[in-house]
Amino acid sequence: MGSDGASDRVLVLNPVSGSEDHVDDVIELGVQHGFEIRKTEESGDAKRLAREAAPDADLVAAAGGDGTLNGVVNGIGEADELETTTAAVVPAGTGNNFATNVGVRGIEHAFAVIEEGRRRSIDVGTADERLFVNSCVGGVTAEASSETTSESKAELGVLAYVKNTLDTIGSFDSLPLRLETAAGPNGESARAWEGEALFVFVGNCRRFSGSRAAQANVEDGLFEVTIVEDAATTDLLGGAALEGLFGADSTHIVRRRTPSLVLDSRRDAVEYSLDGEMLETRTLHLETKPTALRFAVGDGYQPDPDDGELWPISVSNDGDR
Ligand SMILES: Nc1ncnc2c1ncn2[C@@H]1O[C@H](COP(=O)(O)OP(=O)(O)OP(=O)(O)O)[C@@H](O)[C@H]1O
């Protein structure tokens, strides 16, 4: 307890995330580790509870999936406490992509990380007024998102939504999109791309490449942007492996690194998923807030993951693909 009676540690618990069997364990461990526990009761609660807790708490943890964590980070942001309140994640969702990316392996491990783990200052993405930690994905419908099974989400992460969108819709309406990226600190130039996109992925902590759980550098102030061009539909519907599509030699993939970008639909509003939470708009401004959030990370977290060949950052390599 703080001197004014407010809790130093607050845990925002989503009781209906994942397979819903985490509640007793999370409460028991949370209480053991000195947390005041606040349960969400409906959509929007994670943000509200974190906003109310952040001014007094040193640490606010999110127990749930990526959506719950997204709400908690937005609440800390709305309270203007990003730099003063540490955030943590207790993975209790289906996919738990972000937790995996920051080296948090499970519920018990999450409390060990909170007690003994490092704190890192990580980038946060802004999409108009909203924040995201993992990714912003366009072209995945809310319908496909809600129908995606837990097993599939756990296995493929966001690619599951892509697969589900293609499976449920069969033929897919591409997005006539214009994208403008700003110049970056490593020689990335300001660029524009316009065309028919199937999907657009903006990764903050998430890298959309051939490997499933690839973590992007989340302390470099840059997004990793991947566009899947419409020409890829034929391949995808023809059964080409999704992961193969993201390989380095794919001709239908455009990649960019940038601190900020604008996505502009040339036709209707587009549905974007911010860490799994939906947002519909025609024009979206995305910007990184470099190293804006202190986060409790596990040993598996890599501040500077290997870039590999898919994400060339030198000027000479910054070609069209
Ligand atoms: N008590 C509640 N009843 C119903 N819905 C809730 C409740 N609390 C939170 N929610 C909803 O749960 C969603 C967040 O779920 P979350 O993403 O954390 O879990 P998940 O979908 O199981 O996991 P993941 O995103 O990792 O795949 C939010 O959209 C929120 O509106």
Residue written as token pair 């990714």: 135
Ligand 1 mutation pick, 13, 49, 68, max ligand atoms within 8 A of CB: 68
- Which atom number of ligand 1 is nearest to the Cα of residue 150? 27
Sign of CA dihedral 152, 202, 126, 77: positive
| ipTM for the whole complex | 0.94
Ligand 1 mutation pick, 14, 48, 149, max ligand atoms within 8 A of CB: 14
Rg of the chain on CA atoms, in Å: 19
Q: How far is the CA of 252 from the centre of ligand 1 (A)?
A: 33
237 neighbors 139 (Cβ within 8 angstroms): no
**Residue ID of nearest Cα to ligand 1 atom 7:** 42
Report residue 277 as tokens. Answer: 């939470």
Supply the pLDDT for residue 239. 57
Ligand 1 mutation pick, 43, 45, 158, max ligand atoms within 8 A of CB: 43
**How far apart, in whole angstroms, are the C-alpha atoms of residue 60 and residue 76?**
8
- Which atom number of ligand 1 is nearest to the Cα of residue 64? 18
CATH number belonging to the domain at 9-116, selected among 3.40.50.10330, 3.10.130.10, 3.40.50.2300, 3.40.47.10: 3.40.50.10330
For the chain, where do the domains classified as CATH 3.40.50.10330 start and end? 9-116
Q: How far is the CA of 305 from the centre of ligand 1 (A)?
A: 29
- Which atom number of ligand 1 is nearest to the Cα of residue 68? 18
Fold adopted by 132-290: Tumour Suppressor Smad4 (2.60.200)
Report residue 312 as tokens. Answer: 């060339």
17 lines ligand 1 (CB under 6 A): yes
- Which atom number of ligand 1 is nearest to the Cα of residue 14? 8
Q: How far is the CA of 136 from the centre of ligand 1 (A)?
A: 17
Supply the pLDDT for residue 313. 41
**Per-position pLDDT tens, the chain of length 321:** 545 556 799 999 999 998 889 999 999 999 999 999 999 999 999 999 999 999 999 999 999 999 999 999 999 999 999 999 999 999 999 878 899 999 999 999 999 999 999 999 999 999 999 999 999 988 766 556 556 666 665 555 556 666 666 666 555 667 899 999 999 988 888 999 999 888 898 999 887 765 544 678 899 999 999 888 876 655 655 555 555 655 555 667 788 999 999 999 998 898 898 998 889 999 999 999 999 999 999 999 988 886 555 554 433 333 443
**How far apart, in whole angstroms, are the C-alpha atoms of residue 203 and residue 220?**
12
18 lines ligand 1 (CB under 6 A): yes
For the chain, where do the domains classified as CATH 2.60.200.40 start and end? 132-290
Burial of 320 (0-12, 13-18, 19+ CB in 10 A): exposed
Q: How far is the CA of 13 from the centre of ligand 1 (A)?
A: 10
